[in-house]
Amino acid sequence: MVLTAAPVDSLVARARAAFAGFRGVDQERADEAVTALAWALYRRRNAEELARMAVAGTGLGNVADKIAKNRRKTFGTLRDLLRVRSAGVVEELPQLGIVKYAKPVGVVAAVTPSTNPAATPVNKAMMALKGRNAIIIAPSPAGHATTARAVELMRENLHKTGAPADLVQVLPAPVTREATGALMAACDLAVVTGSQNNVRNAYRSGRPAIGVGAGNVTVMVDDSADLADAAEKIARSKTFDNATSCSSENALVILEAVYEKTVDALRAAGGYLADAAEKKSIGDALWRDGKLNRELIARDADVFARKAGLPPPARGARFFMVEESGVGAGFPFSDEKLSLVLTLYRAADFDRALTLTGAILRHKGRGHSCGIHTRNMDNARRLAEEMDVVRVLVNQSHAFGNGGGFDSGLNFTLSMGCGTWGGNSISENLNYRHFLNITHLATQIPEDKPDEEELFGKFWRKFGAG
């Protein structure tokens, strides 16, 4: 059965009815609903059930890490949301005579990916209800069963609080491009995490839309880095949930002075360095007709090694490394891999490392993220100044810091805005503010009108007033 406009219209009508009864609740009631959604996934038995369903349904990632992700992301997001106001007066600026009032955006259409079919829907639903909105989720077809179960659990918890269950709904299967498009066109805001095709379709929907950019995280290791610490953090991040995260490291740019020692540290952390023949074998298996092979992406390391034809010693590795020198369409290892493959580049010096990092990101991942392992903050500052990315992480595991961490100031999210560099309307992590309208009450203040000399004087003295 193909979902037509009529069922979409019915879902939206139910969402609008639920929204009408929720849009005026106070902060306490809104936060109660948000906490109910969080408990639906954070509760261990639910996190475990949904993790098993996700891996069984999509074949992506692993159960243990999905459990950890379901609980960690939900806990961190709830921490962030319970610390802020989203109802009534949210900011006062007496010196400007401005008082800001938060208002909901309405009914949100949320498109979610197969890589996180439980965590992402719950994350977006929490943010939407923080703003006193309703949300309808369009999951990936592969993740539909998991997402539908997550929505069922969220609705059960909302009912316990007395909030309308129809504040959270899901498109029924089969989810089609047409149904998702109809949903985005019928709602007040579309928020899309997933393929760039879905992001572009959201921007074409005729409704306000927020999308995310493609990831291809590139991390530098300079000659001042703590190599053992860097290697363990990289390995932990690269292997988490079998590299399903868009924030997983895809390439390392390593200064020549510490290249061999860094490779040794990565080996000690569980990495396997492929030789030239093994690299070709990995490439032939990982890409089919120019596209990533779904039989290899986000698979366990032993499965990957076997399917890629790697020798027995590789089958006990945590992840796999290949050496590369080129960047671009003719060098697929410079692209995002969504697998336990890490590309290594040598750089003669820091300037060359910057050039290489920029080239990789321009090829794929511009706007998303990069990072550096260093004890020299001048190098970190140069990286931030020169790279067209939203996030630059210093001495961190990307998969655990990029989308928010308990030792990172970035807010918890599963949707990474990449700015205009990545074709997005936001250049920050998706957060509750993106689900709010703001009314500005402006009252009169003492006149703030400088004279001409204050504004034009420096220009006149340098260039003349003629």
Q: Indicate if 246 belongs to the active site.
A: yes
The helix-helix angle for 119-130 and 144-161 (nearest 10°) equals 40
Stated as kind and residue range, the H or E segment containing 110 is strand 107-111
DSSP for 270-307 reads TEEE--HHHHHHHHHHHEETTEE-TTTTT--HHHHHHH
Please give the single-letter amino acid code of residue 366. Answer: R
Q: Which of 350, 444, 371 is nearest to 215 (CA)?
A: 371
Backbone angles phi, psi at 313, to 5 degrees: -55, -25
**In terms of DSSP bridges, do strands 341-347 and 251-255 run parallel, antiparallel, or are they unpaired?**
parallel
CB 108 within 8 A of CB 135: yes
Would you tell me how many other CB atoms lie within 10 Å of the CB of residue 159? Answer: 12
CB 216 within 8 A of CB 328: no
Of 187, 246, 370, 418, the active-site residue reads: 246
Any idea of the CA torsion for 58, 366, 304, 63, to the nearest 10 degrees? -40
> Which tokens is 404 given?
């928010």
The helix-helix angle for 144-161 and 44-58 (nearest 10°) equals 160
CB 136 within 8 A of CB 187: yes
Q: Which of 445, 435, 447 is nearest to 130 (CA)?
A: 435
CB 123 within 8 A of CB 414: yes
> Which tokens is 387 given?
């790279």
DSSP category for residue 312? G
CB 424 within 8 A of CB 210: yes
CB 220 within 8 A of CB 370: yes
Q: Which of 312, 411, 337 is nearest to 82 (CA)?
A: 411
- Catalytic residue numbers, as ranges: 246
